[in-house]
Chains A and B, each alone.
Chain A
Amino acid sequence: MFKSPFLAETGAIAQFTGRFFREGFRPRYEVREFLYQCFVVGYQSLPMVGITGFIMGLVLTLQSRPTMAQFGAESWIPTMVGLTIIREMGPIITALIFAGKIGSSIGAELGSMRVTEQIDAMEVSGTNPFKYLVVTRVLATTLMLPLLTVLADAIGLYASYVGINTRGVTTLALFINNILSGLTFADVLPAFFKTFFFGFAVGIVGCYKGYYANKGTAGVGAAANSAVVVSSLLIFIIDLLAVQITGLLGLN
């Protein structure tokens, strides 16, 4: 019989996702744990997201200047950088950083809980570990990544403003005006919506890998590692799909 590990894995993750939707919307709701996970997920990735957002904005601005100057289009830099950051770079870079930071920590955390039988202990204590551990984390990543992306976008744009001001002078008002004039809702909304899917992918893959980690300490490492690899790959695939879909809807 034809059996590819890739397909088997895809099927297993799909099943896991199905279980998330079946169990996630039935009581009892683990509200406290969910809020705590939101805090953990958001707070843990804040510094990384801030730093990468800043560097992204600065580098984009500094690197595009020579080219733009050649065409005498320096005044278009804010518009161009703004579009690039908001439509693509902000969401994707934040999501990848998020996958590296949060995906791996969820994979390792649940993996070690599985290996040391803590997940079984929860079940014995009358708690549904899937709800308590998985549903809360997946919801937290799904909601926090969009917030982090907006933050990274803002920091990246500010960095771009700083970059422009290293040569020449622009006022912040003019800079913002420039960006806004080049933006439409069709740029912003799809870019924002896809980040929910990125966050969901990071959460579900991290949880899946940890939840079914193999026994032994090697299993924990493997769970953390493959959580990052698979969720990063998924982020690119979702990004590609998002471009296709917005194209079909005539929003590009």
Chain B
Amino acid sequence: MKTLTAPAPPPAPTGPAEVVLTLEHIAKSFGDNHVLRDFSLDLHRGENVVVLGKSGSGKSVLVKCIIGLLRPDAGRITVLGQDISTLDHEAMDQLRAKLGFLFQSNALYDSMTVRENLLFPLRRQWLADRRGKEKELVQQALEDVGLGDTAEKMPAELSGGQRKRIALARTLILQPEIILYDEPTTGLDPITAREISGLIREVQQKYQTAAFIISHDMDSVRLVADRVALLADGRCYAQGTYAELAKHEDPRVHDFFI
């Protein structure tokens, strides 16, 4: 992270890029709790989309549907051209190698050291081109998040912010094509939060990844978002660039930007 400079401004809009993720009319309920009702959104290659929403509005449920941890009751999710409801276990695992997911709770394996945490996805995904290079990849991923000297520590020995960064390193180590960040900056101090935001930008520009970012940290939203969508009432209530939504008249949209 020391290598990072101030986050770059959003890249100038170019022609329409390939769509890598499509959400069509997603609905998901838990009993009588209708969390998602009819949510639709597209994500293009190399684009950062931020999903805003109040606590409990179903943002985590939405990303878990994308990664296949939850099954939507209705609607279609297409990832890299594949409808995920048609995939069997193996095909889903192969697809997941191209998807990164940062858990809101970090979900670090607490019986393993930091190094083993990072090695786990590397070893589990059969990626022939990364064979034998694990050591460098781990070191590289740790240095990317500014924690090069923590490899032998246990997650319990780290601070909350450090754990978030390790979780981020674990997500980035497979160099996924699409990254889903569930609240990457929540609970961090403003400086670290800005560094993480910068890192998200840097990853996007370096690898042309698409990112689906959930956040309520407006500071970070301003830095990372190419497009912002607002999740309310289980729908995509509004979407547009940060500047567009900031000027929106609807108080429910506007309230986020005060």
**A120 proximity list for chain B (CB < 8 A):** 64, 69, 103, 107
Report which of A117, A125, A126 forms a contact with B105, defined as CB distance below 8 A.
A117
Within 8 Å of chain A (Cβ to Cβ): is B110?
Answer: yes
Within 8 Å of chain B (Cβ to Cβ): is A52?
Answer: no
Interface string of B94-114 (1 = CB under 8 A from A): 101101010101011111000
Within 8 Å of chain A (Cβ to Cβ): is B93?
Answer: yes
Contact between A118 and B110, CB atoms less than 8 A apart: yes
Contact between B101 and A124, CB atoms less than 8 A apart: yes
Interface string of A100-124 (1 = CB under 8 A from B): 0000000001001100111011111
Distance of A18 Cα from B64 Cα, bound (Å):
27
**A116 proximity list for chain B (CB < 8 A):** 105, 107, 110
Within 8 Å of chain A (Cβ to Cβ): is B2?
Answer: no
Distance of A113 Cα from B107 Cα, bound (Å):
8
Within 8 Å of chain B (Cβ to Cβ): is A128?
Answer: yes
Per the 8 Å Cβ criterion, residues 220-250 of B in contact with A are none
Report which of B89, B99, B107, B121 forms a contact with A117, defined as CB distance below 8 A.
B107
**A124 proximity list for chain B (CB < 8 A):** 67, 69, 96, 99, 101
Contact between A125 and B107, CB atoms less than 8 A apart: no
Given A116-B105, A117-B105, A120-B103, A125 and B124 contact (CB-CB distance below 8 Å): yes
**B99 proximity list for chain A (CB < 8 A):** 124
> Closest CB of chain A to B74's CB: distance in Å?
22
Per the 8 Å Cβ criterion, residues 57-83 of A in contact with B are none
Within 8 Å of chain A (Cβ to Cβ): is B125?
Answer: yes
Within 8 Å of chain B (Cβ to Cβ): is A44?
Answer: no
Residue of B nearest to A115 (CB): B105
**B67 proximity list for chain A (CB < 8 A):** 124
> Closest CB of chain A to B101's CB: distance in Å?
5
**B64 proximity list for chain A (CB < 8 A):** 120
**A126 proximity list for chain B (CB < 8 A):** 93-94, 96-97, 121, 124-125
Given A125-B96, A126-B125, A128-B89, A118 and B109 contact (CB-CB distance below 8 Å): yes
Distance of A122 Cα from B110 Cα, bound (Å):
13
Distance of A127 Cα from B120 Cα, bound (Å):
9
Per the 8 Å Cβ criterion, residues 120-147 of A in contact with B are 120-128
Distance of A133 Cα from B86 Cα, bound (Å):
26
Report which of A113, A118, A125 forms a contact with B121, defined as CB distance below 8 A.
A125
Given contacts A118-B110, A126-B96, 19 further A-B contacts (CB under 8 A): A117-B103, A117-B105, A118-B108, A118-B109, A120-B64, A120-B103, A120-B107, A121-B103, A123-B68, A124-B67, A124-B96, A124-B99, A125-B96, A125-B120, A125-B125, A126-B93, A126-B97, A127-B120, A128-B89
Task: Give the interface of B toward A (CB within 8 A).
Answer: 64, 67-69, 89, 93-94, 96-97, 99, 101, 103, 105, 107-111, 120-121, 124-125
Q: Which 9 A-B pairs have CB atoms at the shortest separation, nearest pair first? A: A121-B107, A117-B107, A125-B121, A126-B93, A127-B124, A126-B125, A126-B124, A124-B101, A125-B124
19 A-B residue pairings within 8 Å (CB atoms): A112-B110, A113-B109, A116-B110, A118-B107, A118-B109, A118-B110, A120-B64, A120-B103, A120-B107, A121-B107, A121-B109, A122-B120, A123-B68, A124-B67, A124-B99, A125-B124, A126-B94, A126-B121, A127-B124
